[in-house]
Amino acid sequence: MTVPFGQRLASAVADRGPLCAGIDPHPGLLSAWGLTADAAGLERFALSATEVLAEHVAVLKPQSAFFEAYGSAGIAVLERVLVLARQAGALVLLDVKRGDIGSTMAAYTSAYLTDAAPLAADAITVSPYLGFGALEPALAAAQASGRGLFVLARTSNPDGGQVQGALTSGRSVAQAMVDEAAARNAGATPMGGVGVVVGATIRPGELDLTALNGPVLAPGFGAQGATADDLVKVFGPDTASVLPASSRDLLKHGPDPAALREAVLRVRETVAVLAR
């Protein structure tokens, strides 16, 4: 895998639009789909949802926590989701939000960012809150293998601002993380592979993303209240690639595959305005 992630993502977005569909098997959704809240229900839910969604979106984002909740059986289902999504032509962004001291970060790198890993993904989410430099093993492995990272900058939850909005050298911590990512992406075409996570729920103008030259994962769209209008207000026209992420708001349309497909196509159309 040597084609850089930024290039692979740009091409996927050009083909399918910017929507990132989340696979978040909440127990409440399993129950709404008429499934049991156990590993068998998880398997049925995650594979059925992936089968429908991965065919229509550029990026599929399984949320690892909901699989980990079922132990080794859940991880086995996650491995199958990764394979199925890739077969359907979607890039897989595994939402694991890993971040640790450098030596342990190297172990996470082996788990997610190497070709032979059972949980290898095209990109993962990482937390820089042990210091951006602690992410170095993941940054190096991602770059070497054509994979991407999405670094938490300003998360979508209301409490995110408490830490991420604090000032450091005259800018917010979140802005400092965006600037670190931008430095890694400098000069890359069409964009670099170090993305950031910025909630679609934040105030417009809170962050300057114009120099990022990398992708922005924008959760908070849909179930957390942000609308397509908010996406335009928050991200404007000057960002390389904004990926609005929606999980519950799509998944609630299952289990009928036709209804789920109709929902993803409708939302995909709604956010198409963001792709340039």
Ligand X SMILES: O=c1ccn([C@@H]2O[C@H](COP(=O)(O)O)[C@@H](O)[C@H]2O)c(=O)[nH]1
- Which residue shows structure tokens 């450091």? 168
Residue 252 makes contact with ligand X by CB under 6 A: no
**Which of 193, 222, 244, 255 is in the footprint of ligand X by CB under 6 A?**
222
> In whole angstroms, what is the distance from residue 194 CA to residue 258 CA?
35
**Which of 124, 245, 260, 264 is in the footprint of ligand X by CB under 6 A?**
245
Stretch that binds ligand X, among 9-17, 161-169, 175-183, 216-224 (CB under 6 A): 216-224
**Which of 224, 243, 244, 264 is in the footprint of ligand X by CB under 6 A?**
224
The contact mask relative to ligand X for 109-148 (x = CB under 6 A, - = no) is ----------------------------------------
> In whole angstroms, what is the distance from residue 45 CA to residue 226 CA?
25
Report the site for ligand X in 157-186 (rule: CB under 6 A).
none
Q: Select from 200, 199, 190 the least CA-distant residue to 241.
A: 190
Residue 195 makes contact with ligand X by CB under 6 A: no
Stretch that binds ligand X, among 46-54, 98-106, 172-180, 214-222 (CB under 6 A): 214-222
Quick one: which H or E segment has residue 61?
strand 59-62
Stretch that binds ligand X, among 134-142, 182-190, 222-230, 231-239 (CB under 6 A): 222-230
Count interface residues toward ligand X (CB under 6 A).
18
Q: Select from 181, 5, 189 the least CA-distant residue to 93.
A: 5
Residue 230 makes contact with ligand X by CB under 6 A: no
**Which of 6, 21, 24, 58 is in the footprint of ligand X by CB under 6 A?**
24
Stretch that binds ligand X, among 104-112, 184-192, 232-240, 245-253 (CB under 6 A): 245-253
Q: What is the CB neighbour count within 10 angstroms for residue 165?
A: 15
DSSP of 150-214: EEEEE-SSGGGHHHHTSEETTEEHHHHHHHHHHHHHTT-SS--SEEEEE-TTSPTTSS--TT--S
Least distance CB 115 / ligand X (angstroms): 25
Distances (CA, A) of 31 to 45, 141, 217, 223: 10, 39, 28, 18
Residue 247 makes contact with ligand X by CB under 6 A: yes
> In whole angstroms, what is the distance from residue 255 CA to residue 35 CA?
10
Nearer to ligand X, 59 or 142 (CB): 59
Q: Is 233 a catalytic residue?
A: no
Return the amino acid letter for 7.
Q
Residue 219 makes contact with ligand X by CB under 6 A: yes
Strand partners, 216: 196, 242
Strand partners, 241: 215
Cα 120–122–127 angle (5° rounding)? Answer: 85
Nearer to ligand X, 95 or 180 (CB): 95
**Which of 14, 106, 211, 223 is in the footprint of ligand X by CB under 6 A?**
223
Residue numbers at the binding site for ligand X (CB under 6 A) = 22, 24, 63, 95, 155-156, 197, 199, 219-220, 222-224, 245-249
Which residues participate in catalysis according to the annotation? 97
